[in-house]
Homo-oligomer: A and B are copies of this chain.
Amino acid sequence: MTRNDISPRRPAVMADVARLAGVSHQTVSRVLNEHPSVSPATRDRILAAIEQLDYRPNSAARALVTRRTRGIGVVSFTTTLFGPANTLYAIEQAARLAGYFVSVANVEDVDEDAIRHAVERLGSQFVEGIIAIAPQRVAVEALRHVPSDLPLVVVEGGDGGGHPVVCVDQVEGARLATRHLLDRKVGTVWHVAGPIDWLEAQGRVSGWRSELERAAITAPEVLRGDWTPASGYANGQLLAERGDVRAVFVANDQMALGVLRAFHERGLRIPDDVLVAGFDDSPDSAFFTPPLTTVRQNFDAVGRHGMELLLQRIDDPTQAATSAVVPPELVTRQSTLGSSWETSGR
């Protein structure tokens, strides 16, 4: 029973290529790995054989011997949200550029077991390292106890629980927005925050509060939302009822949408009666009614840095955990500007 026999033809292996090209398997391997010392003639012959047999190297075999898979894992929580989706995309892009592929593992419930399980699943899979998108405190805490020899980088996760971290400077972003509102002589600035467990929400509260303190203004009570437009709407109704609200900094654009809607329903005009600023610069926010001033997060940079840090760790797992902070950018639009129709951005 020889190789290229009847029926469901086995995919070609290196030995087949070698035989067809009249060389040893090792020379084929050299061509594949771009080893310099292979004569052009031999190389061409081998490439032709590869083409003819539609040969593709078996990466399991390669991984077995090299102990390198050129793959990284991404542990995430609901990658459908704006931030995580963009971060995941940026990571994939950066990984691809670095010659790595990306495996994803979403965690349904953010508890320690689930996270550990996800890491194990990826770890015993073919990845050399893991990037965790961990925007919640529980998530970071869980990662703290990941008993893994696997290089791990945390993205969007506060102190990272002992691992290297990459994140957008949430505090600074909130300060930018708050200061911008204060500059417009609004007295004080109200804040609709995100869920208490989210580190990003927490950072934005801090930034908002510290900027008010800097201006010697007592911070009003924080309103809590859950990132959804519905919760923004509910909080917007509360704010509208007060009658004394002149400026609101909302912790994300989706909730800001709800706030705008609530104000609109109560007959409050924006920006004439109330100024509203958001966070995220979602693609929609430039087309809200009115266009929304917001804070842009550079997810590409986050993905790139995350990948860089991870590659460093893979290279040398012993080195100290460094981190990267990506600066945010204020995008001013009509919701906080004069009543002119001018909009900035896109």
Contacts and interface: CB of A to CB of B under 8 A. Distances in A.
Interface of A: 11, 54, 56-61, 63-64, 69, 71, 78-80, 85-86, 88-89, 92-93, 96, 101-106, 108, 120-126, 147, 149, 228-230, 232-233, 254, 257-258, 260-261, 264-265, 283-284, 286-289, 341, 346
Given A229-B284, A284-B284, A126 B60 contact: yes
Contact of A60 (B64, B88, B149): B64
Given A64-B64, A80-B86, A126-B126, A71 B287 contact: no
Contacts of A89: 78-80, 106
A341 B125 CA distance: 52
Nearest to A68: B60
23 contacts: A56-B123, A58-B64, A60-B61, A60-B69, A61-B64, A79-B92, A80-B86, A80-B89, A88-B104, A92-B105, A93-B106, A93-B108, A96-B106, A101-B105, A102-B103, A103-B103, A103-B104, A230-B287, A232-B287, A254-B284, A257-B287, A257-B288, A260-B289
A169 to B, nearest CB: 22
A120 B56 contact: yes
Contacts of A105: 92, 96, 101-102
Given A79-B88, A149-B11, A257-B287, A101 B124 contact: no
B101 A103 contact: yes
A113 to B, nearest CB: 15
Nearest to A265: B341
B257 A284 contact: yes
Given A60-B61, A230-B346, 6 more contacts: A54-B147, A58-B124, A60-B126, A126-B126, A233-B287, A257-B287
Contacts of A71: 103, 125-126
Contacts of A149: 11
A71 B71 CA distance: 13
A58 B63 CA distance: 10
A84 to B, nearest CB: 9
Contacts of A147: 54
A171 to B, nearest CB: 25
Contacts of A341: 265
Contacts of A233: 287
Contacts of A86: 80
Nearest to A99: B121
Contact of A289 (B254, B284, B289): B289
A57 B289 contact: no
Nearest to A120: B56
Nearest to A65: B60
Q: Tell which of A54, A101, A106 has the most Cβ of chain B within 10 Å.
A: A101
Interface centre among A69, A93, A106 (most CB of B within 10 A): A106
B63 A60 contact: yes
Contacts of A283: 228-229, 254
Given A101-B105, A287-B261, A80 B85 contact: yes
A71 B284 CA distance: 35
Nearest to A81: B85
Closest 6 CB pairs of A and B: A229-B287, A60-B63, A56-B124, A60-B64, A85-B85, A103-B103
